[in-house]
Structure 1
Amino acid sequence: MKKRFLALLLAVCIGVSVLVLPASAAGSNTAVQTAVTLGAFSTEEAAGLSTPLTRGQLAKLLVAFSAYHDNANTQGSIGTLYTDVNGSSAYALYIRIAVQQGWMSGYTDGSFRPDNTVTLEEACTAALTLLGYDITTLTGGFPAAQLNKANAIGLRSNLGCTQGQTMTLEEGAVLLYNALTANTADGSVYGTTLGYTVTNGQVDVSSILLSSLEGPFVASEGESLPFVPEAIYRNGSVSTSAQLSAYDVYYYNASAKTVWIYTRKAAGRITAVSPSASAPTSVTVAGTSYTIASSSAAAQLSSLNGGGVGQVVTLLLGMNNEAVAVLTGDEADEVFYGVVQTAARSLVEENGADVRQAVAVKCTDGVTRTVNVDKSLNYPAGWMVKITVNAEGEQVETITKTSTSGTINADSTALGGTALADDVEILDTTSEGVAGTVSPSRLSGVTLSDADVRYYTTNENGQIDRLILNDVTGDLWTYGVLDDVKNLINNTTTTTSGTTSSGMTVSTAIKKLTGNDSTTGTTGSSTTTTTDDSQIISDVADIVLPSTGDLLWGLVDGSIGSSLWESVTGSTDKLASYLLKLGANNTSGSLSTVLNYLGSGADYVCYVNGKQTTYKTSTKYPVLAGGIAIGTSTSGTVKSMTQLLPVVIDKVGAASVMSGNKKYETADEMQVYLWYKGTYYPTTLSQVNGEEYTLIGWYDGGLRAAGGKIRVLIAVRKN
């Protein structure tokens, strides 16, 4: 477990520019991971952290946390050091450095005793010497002087051992990790003297981990790693396969036995290089700019060597999507699949005035590629296309639906009876062209129908390597909480007492719409044949009712149950059914009146991600209150709104909630609000997760295969 945690920490650190941890909060895990990364512990030693720390191991720890950690092997270990340490000893070179630097010393009988255990005071003395302190000048005698000084500068933080006790491997790692944030004898922070970033007692762990990273390397056909890895990451995700294919970009940390493999590529015609054609540091391919990460790639793209603008290339991308190598000619041939985001025509005047059309395509690898296409063709947003890159340039062609179905297994390695490739690319899309990548784990246990899969491809092993989905996750929608609707009701009003224009309370209006109330009207179980325009508008307003406190309290106090709410808002065809009923009985032009009413639009005032936002629409949507989902085009235009369904929450877990005996998963980006007197205050779950709150979750109805998640949570204080 500790090995896997180390690898995860390394992957996270490398994926961000700065990762800092307070020394006081670092704990043993971070200290051990850092010790392993710096080569102080083998993975076998890291698996036995409770074993006693020996003098040989302490010497190795001291060197690992010193300026010699990168070049210890060059210091040499030839010759007899001590009677019990010869040149073949695993600790010989570390003992040589530790003794030469005065951090440790041998015994008068000519021995070093590398297998002897180390006490707290002995380890603190060595660490203080590493930091440049003159032990002879400390106030008091041994060991009190050393222990007091170590405590004063923070070396003993998170250590439970006391004077005279033997330290463990784990405690030795914590002591040396604490040294990174401690002051040296001359007042400098020790970690900064090693080139690490330490700010306000915080260590930039990524700088330590990156210092031991080797790469990038570009794999050739049949190439293998120089060691058997214990942790593998492919394109940033945990993987089980360390197999390298030609043109894979990889990095590794030998001491941590961890490897990172990247198969991402950028292909197309170069449209720009900067800052100069002769010495480029970045290159733009298919509308996206990439930093050039190697001198060999820069030289190949330089105009001095015939590269640059107009050249068709494939960039091999490594960490942070940096261009590591460049392929040209037949090697540059690539095919990408995705959906059209936008298509735009513009004037160009290169060889006389003309019109050029550029199509932006969100591809399954998550990259949006922009390609110039025939100006006479149309590429609507949402269309599936294939981009082919070869020596002739880039071509875009539409592709037709190719479906499959089945359940994604628990470990996200297969869809039905077909295996998923280790580097499978999954893209969820909407009909409007909104798209986003999906990790396989997000779909674990999800059953996909033919309608859910728009397209897929397989590799040479018959494994699915690309999937384009049809709004399967629901994650592409914008979620929020409805605060107010302006211009919704033209000649009818909703009063502050929670009544509609026809004098009904909101609760009664909902019950009337579902036939659960004896009140007469045009939509209840006991309907009238009234076709008065004002009454019809009132009835429609009851369906597309704005947010009111009465409605929310109806959910809190139970007067409006979830099942009753769902019968009204479960689908948007409630309003359509009413209009059809009017159309069948229309003798006075009332249908036209309603259609005009609906077409007048509205301003929907919502809280989205904690900020108040207004959506102006040209039509009215049947959303009532609380959580709503907003569907947009790639340009941000509202195309649809649907009502989220409420559930009163009894228990809250780490990634799910319970309502009675039913479990609901929470979305990763779930929004949390405190509601008080009609106002929503953005907060966090930890602040309202207590018995003094009533919690109402709003979920997306489970209409999507991987949906049904709580998207918005509203808390109301019980007092």
Structure 2
Amino acid sequence: MKKRFLALLLSVCIGVSMLVLPASAAGSNTAVQTAVTLGAFSTEEAAGLSTPLTRGQLAKLLVAFSAYHDNANTQGSIGTLYTDVNGSSAYAPYIRIAVQQGWMSGYTDGSFRPNQTVTLEEACTAALTLLGYDVTTLTGGFPAAQLNKANAIGLRANLSRTQGQAMTMEDGAILLYNALTANTASGSVYGTTLGFTVTNGQVDVSSILLSNLEGPFVASEGESLPFEPEAVYCNDSVSTNAQLSAYDVYYYNASAKTVWVYTRKAAGRITAVSPSASAPTSVTVAGTSYTIASSSAAAQLSSLNGGGVGQVVTLLLGMNNEAVAVLTGDAADEVFYGVVQTATRSLVEENGADVQQKVEVKCTDGITRTVSVAKDLNYPAGWMVKITVNADGEQVDAIGKKGTSGTINADGTALGETALADGVEILDTTSEGVAGTVSPSRLSGVTLSDADVRYYTTNENGQIDRLILNDVTGDLWTYGVLDDVKNLINNVTSSSSTTSTGTTTGTTTSTSSSTDAASIAGDVAEIVLPSTGDLLWGLVDGSIGSSVWESVTGSTDKLASYLLKLGAANTSGGLSTVLNYLGSGADYVCYVNGKQTTYKTSTKYPVLAGGIAVGISTSGKVKSMRQLMPAVIDKVGAASVMSGGKKYETADDMQVYLWYKGTYYPTTLSQVNGEDYTLIGWFDNDGRAAGSKIRVLIAVRKN
């Protein structure tokens, strides 16, 4: 678990220009992530946060959160520091700096006692000294004066320790993280003195990490890293393998002892370069444009050296999918797997009029590749295919199902008894071709059946290196909240009433069937489609329990039984009205990601109110709608909620709305709580192996 959130932090650092860490969120995760980023914790230390904080570890924390964080590696072994700290000690360079700067001191007997546990007042005193405070001039005596000052400037925020209590590794990270947003003795925000950008209590940590980044480098066969890393990330996911393979692109931060390795490649025929053929800064391969990140790659792709449009190449991709190097000839041979997104035919007039077909394929590495194929072949959206690239060009071939089963282990490193390769590529897909990449950690603890796995491949070591899944996560659906559907039924009722007198049979005007139609439409409105308000308040006050909701939302059976009753009563007019209602389309007005959206469909779907899931094809058409299930929430956690003793995980992109008098107002989870609001979570309940997450949360104010 710890490794997964560390991977998230460092991959975000690479993927965006600024990583912002809120001071208000300086709980364990954010503080520990920052400590690892700055080199204060190794991944092993981050996995043991409850262990006591020692004086040696405190010295390392102080240095990492200081202007000297890059100096420790240049200290070397300079004799014995203290009787119990020799020059070869792992903490020696940090202790030397901490003592030289006056943040800590040794004991009169010549010892430093690096393994001695640190108390709250000792850690606060060191942090205050780091910020430039003269602790001898504070009002009051030790330790009350130091503890009061630390509290006043925010150093003790989110710390539950009291005087005399021992600090843990986690506590130490929180204390030093709080120091970044605290004022120094001279009145400056401490983080800004280190080069961080601190805005409204938010700290940009990634700037320090990236400023010391070296690379990109392209590994040759048998190449080794220049140091033993403490953290390795392969394609932005945590890895335990620090070995490099030929053509890997890698970067490193020596002070943080962190390495990023990328194995991603783009292969195919070059169709465009820009801004000019002789001096390109970007290149288009297989329909995707890539920024050229090195002068050597630009030179190789330049027309001055025989490169450019028409050439079959493999691009070695680094951070942000930028092209770092170019392979040609046999070295450019590659194979990709994925699912068809779209297939389009268009007119070309290069050598007379003809039709050209292009197929877009979402591949397991997350890249959508566009390949020209024979115009007479059919590639329906959702088909699994293999793209082969060699010196002759590109070829697309359909592949059949190749399933497997098992449970993804807690670390996301194995499926059943088969190991997952470092940098394993996982693609979740729908039958319509909608697809998205999935991290192994997203599937931690999930049991996959043979039906859940559409295809997989293994590398030379027998490890699974690609997985194509069958709508396992539910993340490919669009989620939102549905506005009042009852109005649609009311429109049917109104329409039936106003047109009834104009219906004739032979020479006699008949109004009975149309009257029945209006009545039946009203019945359907009340029985099948209650209003949003009715449903929400029913959930709030308990009048609608889970079993009732299950019955109502099982609307296929509900409608079927109701129609049978209508048929038995021979109310043909009413039956016709209901069937017409069910068979015709509707406009579904929803809120999706905080914005009002209308879905126009040719079919009515069994959705009532509250949270819904919308299945949308790659062409943008609504293919299906499903009702999410409600759960009245008792307690909200960091990434989960509790409802009636049952735990539900929350989706990373969970939407939160305040509902008031029939209107949804988008808000955030931090603005609502279980004391002042009734919280109703809506989760997908379609039996997906990695589904059943709270996708939407609706808050109703209690007063």
Same fold (TM over 0.5): yes
Q: Give the drift of 1:688.
A: 2.9
Q: Give the drift of 1:403.
A: 2.0
Structure of larger gyration radius: 1
> 1:180-226 CA distances to partner (integer Å, 9 max, x unpaired)?
99999999999889876566776532121112222222222233323
Q: Give the drift of 1:563.
A: 0.7
Determine if the alignment matches structure 1 residue 316 to structure 2 residue 316.
yes
* Aligned amino acid, residue 464 of structure 1: I
- 1:374 paired residue number: 374
- 2:257 paired residue number: 257
Moved more, 580-589 or 338-347: 580-589
- 2:471 paired residue number: 471
Alignment of 1:44-83 (within 5 A): none
- 1:298 paired residue number: 298
Please tell me whether the aligned partners of residues 347 and 355 of structure 2 are also in contact (alpha carbons under 8 angstroms). Answer: yes
- 2:505 paired residue number: none
- 2:608 paired residue number: 624
Which sections of structure 2, spanning at least 5 residues, go unmatched?
80-85, 103-109, 115-121, 138-144, 160-167, 498-511
- Name which of 664, 667, 672 aligns with 2:651: 667
* Aligned amino acid, residue 299 of structure 2: A
Q: Give the drift of 1:300.
A: 1.3
Please tell me whether the aligned partners of residues 480 and 609 of structure 1 are also in contact (alpha carbons under 8 angstroms). Answer: yes
> 1:646-699 CA distances to partner (integer Å, 9 max, x unpaired)?
233333333333332333332222222222222222233333322343332222
Task: Report the CA distance shift for 1:575/1:476 in structure 2 as closer, same or farther (over 3 A).
Answer: farther
- 1:213 paired residue number: 213
Determine if the alignment matches structure 1 residue 425 to structure 2 residue 425.
yes
Q: Write the distance in 2 (CA, Å) between the matches of 1:395 and 1:185.
A: 67
Q: Write the distance in 1 (CA, Å) between the matches of 2:473 and 2:93.
A: 56
Q: Secondary structure at the match of 2:483?
A: strand
Task: Report the CA distance shift for 1:347/1:649 in structure 2 as closer, same or farther (over 3 A).
Answer: same
Please tell me whether the aligned partners of residues 700 and 707 of structure 1 are also in contact (alpha carbons under 8 angstroms). Answer: yes
Q: Write the distance in 2 (CA, Å) between the matches of 1:68 and 1:184.
A: 17
Please tell me whether the aligned partners of residues 43 and 230 of structure 2 are also in contact (alpha carbons under 8 angstroms). Answer: no
- 1:606 paired residue number: 590
Q: Write the distance in 2 (CA, Å) between the matches of 1:415 and 1:646.
A: 32
Q: Give the drift of 1:363.
A: 1.1
Q: Secondary structure at the match of 2:670?
A: helix
Task: Report the CA distance shift for 1:356/1:554 in structure 2 as closer, same or farther (over 3 A).
Answer: same
> 1:271-315 CA distances to partner (integer Å, 9 max, x unpaired)?
222222222222111121111122221111111211111111111
Which sections of structure 1, spanning at least 5 residues, go unmatched?
80-85, 105-112, 140-146, 161-167, 502-530
Q: Secondary structure at the match of 2:485?
A: strand
Determine if the alignment matches structure 1 residue 401 to structure 2 residue 385.
no
Q: Secondary structure at the match of 1:420?
A: strand
Q: Give the drift of 1:4.
A: 9.5
Task: Report the CA distance shift for 1:483/1:563 in structure 2 as closer, same or farther (over 3 A).
Answer: same
Q: Write the distance in 1 (CA, Å) between the matches of 2:91 and 2:552.
A: 75
Task: Report the CA distance shift for 1:542/1:592 in structure 2 as closer, same or farther (over 3 A).
Answer: closer
Alignment of 1:99-248 (within 5 A): 197=197, 204-248=204-248
Q: Secondary structure at the match of 1:563?
A: helix
- 1:689 paired residue number: 673
Please tell me whether the aligned partners of residues 516 and 573 of structure 2 are also in contact (alpha carbons under 8 angstroms). Answer: no
Q: Secondary structure at the match of 2:536?
A: helix
Please tell me whether the aligned partners of residues 279 and 299 of structure 2 are also in contact (alpha carbons under 8 angstroms). Answer: yes
Moved more, 672-681 or 69-78: 69-78
Q: Write the distance in 1 (CA, Å) between the matches of 2:608 and 2:33.
A: 52
* Aligned amino acid, residue 307 of structure 1: G
- 2:267 paired residue number: 267
- 1:83 paired residue number: none
Please tell me whether the aligned partners of residues 484 and 546 of structure 1 are also in contact (alpha carbons under 8 angstroms). Answer: no
Q: Give the drift of 1:341.
A: 1.3
Moved more, 337-346 or 407-416: 407-416
- 2:335 paired residue number: 335
* Aligned amino acid, residue 481 of structure 2: V
Moved more, 538-547 or 331-340: 538-547
Alignment of 1:703-718 (within 5 A): 703-718=687-702
Q: Secondary structure at the match of 1:388?
A: strand
Please tell me whether the aligned partners of residues 629 and 643 of structure 1 are also in contact (alpha carbons under 8 angstroms). Answer: yes
Task: Report the CA distance shift for 1:616/1:182 in structure 2 as closer, same or farther (over 3 A).
Answer: closer
Identity %: 83
Q: Secondary structure at the match of 1:552?
A: helix
> 1:42-92 CA distances to partner (integer Å, 9 max, x unpaired)?
9999999955589xx99x99999999987999999999xxxxxx9999999
- 1:18 paired residue number: 18
Q: Give the drift of 1:385.
A: 1.4
Please tell me whether the aligned partners of residues 364 and 426 of structure 2 are also in contact (alpha carbons under 8 angstroms). Answer: yes
Moved more, 169-178 or 664-673: 169-178
Task: Report the CA distance shift for 1:304/1:433 in structure 2 as closer, same or farther (over 3 A).
Answer: same
Q: Write the distance in 1 (CA, Å) between the matches of 2:354 and 2:487.
A: 45
- 2:625 paired residue number: 641
Please tell me whether the aligned partners of residues 428 and 470 of structure 1 are also in contact (alpha carbons under 8 angstroms). Answer: yes
Please tell me whether the aligned partners of residues 127 and 179 of structure 2 are also in contact (alpha carbons under 8 angstroms). Answer: no
When the two structures are aligned, how many residues end up with a matched partner?
A: 671
Q: Write the distance in 1 (CA, Å) between the matches of 2:555 and 2:299.
A: 59
> 1:689-710 CA distances to partner (integer Å, 9 max, x unpaired)?
2234333222222422222222
Q: Secondary structure at the match of 1:654?
A: coil
- 1:551 paired residue number: 535
Q: Give the drift of 1:424.
A: 1.9
Q: Write the distance in 2 (CA, Å) between the matches of 1:670 and 1:657.
A: 12
> 1:82-125 CA distances to partner (integer Å, 9 max, x unpaired)?
xxxx99999999999999xx999xxxxxxxx99899x9999999
Q: Secondary structure at the match of 1:488?
A: helix
Determine if the alignment matches structure 1 residue 652 to structure 2 residue 625.
no
Q: Secondary structure at the match of 2:441?
A: helix
Task: Report the CA distance shift for 1:690/1:306 in structure 2 as closer, same or farther (over 3 A).
Answer: same
> 1:221-264 CA distances to partner (integer Å, 9 max, x unpaired)?
23332333322222111222223222222222233332222111
Please tell me whether the aligned partners of residues 316 and 326 of structure 2 are also in contact (alpha carbons under 8 angstroms). Answer: yes
- 2:443 paired residue number: 443
Q: Give the drift of 1:17.
A: 0.8
* Aligned amino acid, residue 356 of structure 2: R
Task: Report the CA distance shift for 1:567/1:465 in structure 2 as closer, same or farther (over 3 A).
Answer: same
Q: Give the drift of 1:470.
A: 1.6
Pairwise CA RMSD: 5.4
Determine if the alignment matches structure 1 residue 347 to structure 2 residue 327.
no
- 1:699 paired residue number: 683
